[in-house]
């Protein structure tokens, strides 16, 4: 298990212990690599909020820039692979902080060096985030933990859509031998308000 997979696993398990959880921009329940954790959320009030959501139990359609929830109404949130697709990520970060109770937890993923991935008519692709940008964006949280996702060589391989699976292991070995201090595909982030 990679260091970023371990971080993801540990933090999602921690989020799953909370009572009321907002999956902001999740599309549908337990998408984006969350399906294997579904059983851990069994006792939670898990709400998906997404601009493109199909109406369903526990799913609300709306604009993440203006969450229709009271201040401090969630114990935790997940916002995975969303902030690059919103017009104003600073506004979204403020809204996530607003609806999170004091001491509440959040998990986010944002890309840094990552292929363009808009879906015409569904969502656009506006932003990429450096570690400095992440810290500025989330500065209103009392605690921020950041884990790089992929190293330099695996990031390069990630730009090869048809050959990615062939070269992933040699790239991981090169990343182990020659670790990069700054280059990564993106960041897993854990925050506490």
Contact 76, 40 (CB under 8 A): no
Are 60 and 53 in contact, with CB atoms under 8 Å apart?
A: yes
- What is the gyration radius of the CA atoms in the chain, in angstroms? 17
pLDDT band per the 50, 70, 90 thresholds, residue 54: confident
Measured distance CA(123)–CA(86) in Å, rounded: 8
- In the chain, what percentage of residues exceed pLDDT 90? 85
Convert the pLDDT of each residue in 115-158 to its tens digit.
Answer: 999 999 889 999 999 999 999 999 999 999 999 999 999 999 99
**Residue 112: which of 30, 183, 29, 193 has the closest Cα?**
183
Mean pLDDT of the chain: 95
d(CA 172, CA 178): 10
66 closest CA partner among 29, 98, 106: 98
Answer whether 0.85 is exceeded by the pTM. yes
Q: Determine which helix (DSSP H) or strand (DSSP E) holds 111, and give its type and residue range.
A: strand 100-111
Left (φ > 0), alpha (ψ -120 to 50) or beta: where does 167 sit? Answer: alpha
């Amino acid at each position: 298990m990679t260091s970023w997979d371990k971080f993801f696993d540990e933090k999602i398990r921690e989020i799953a212990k909370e009572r009321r959880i907002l999956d902001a921009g999740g599309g549908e329940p337990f998408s984006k690599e969350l399906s294997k954790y579904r059983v851990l959320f069994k006792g939670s009030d898990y709400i998906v909020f997404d601009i493109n959501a199909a109406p369903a139990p526990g799913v609300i359609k709306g604009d993440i820039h203006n969450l229709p929830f009271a201040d401090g109404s969630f114990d935790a949130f997940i916002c995975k692979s969303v902030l690059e697709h919103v017009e104003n990520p600073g506004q979204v970060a403020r809204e996530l902080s607003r609806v999170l109770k004091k001491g509440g937890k959040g998990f986010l993923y944002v890309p840094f060096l990552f292929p363009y991935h808009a879906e015409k008519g569904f969502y656009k692709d506006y932003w990429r985030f450096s570690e400095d940008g992440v810290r500025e964006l989330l500065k209103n949280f009392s605690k921020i933990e950041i884990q790089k996702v992929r190293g330099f060589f695996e990031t390069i391989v990630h730009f090869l859509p048809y050959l990615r699976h062939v070269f992933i292991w040699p790239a991981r070995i090169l990343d182990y031998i020659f670790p990069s201090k700054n280059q990564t595909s993106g960041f897993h982030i854990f925050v506490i308000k």
